[in-house]
Amino acid sequence: MKTNIWPGNSCEAENIALLGINNNIILSTERNGGKLTILEQVVNIGSASPLLTCAREEKVIYIAEGNFVLSADGQQYHAGKGASMLVPKGVVHHFKNIGTSIGKLLITLTPGRRDALLKGIDSSVKVYGENIEAIKNAAITCSV
């Protein structure tokens, strides 16, 4: 395996804003042969992800800033800065910023692909707005 180093100014950091969450793509699937995706999510106060299931990826959620409720498999956890959660493939999960300030999550998915979903949803939202049916259709189109 070859070691790759990307200087800070060469990272994509493409921003995709959805549902009060700014998704910054730190390392895309294309940059590393599909092995993983790394996202920074900046989450507004009170904003939450929809219920999600990653059928193909394992996900690590790391709280870099803020206070969140993390849920997985029907269990809820109150967690703050420095906490992390491993979400296995196929597990329904969710997060919500319950803090008094903007929160920040670092998300790692393996294998990669989630950035393709975000880009597909972003394109759909630009045309149809934050319409849940358009978002679902984009997810289906991206085979997630």
Q: State how far the Cα of 8 lies from the Cα of 5, in Å rounded to an integer.
A: 9
Q: What is the pLDDT of residues 80-101, one digit of tens each?
A: 999 999 999 999 999 999 999 9
Q: Is the pLDDT of residue 75 over 70?
A: yes
Reading the block at residue 80, the tokens are 């703050």
If we measure between CA atoms, which residue out of 31, 28, 43 comes closest to residue 109?
Answer: 28
132 within some domain: no
Q: Is the pLDDT of residue 127 over 50?
A: no
DSSP string, 64-130: EESEEEEEETTEEEEEETT-EEEE-TT-EEEEEE-SSS-EEEEEEEES--HHHHHHHHHHHHHHH-S
The total number of structural domains that make up the chain: 1
CATH classification of the domain holding 100: 2.60.120.10
33 within some domain: yes
Q: Residue 61 belongs to what domain range?
A: 18-113
130 within some domain: no
35 within some domain: yes
87 within some domain: yes
27 within some domain: yes
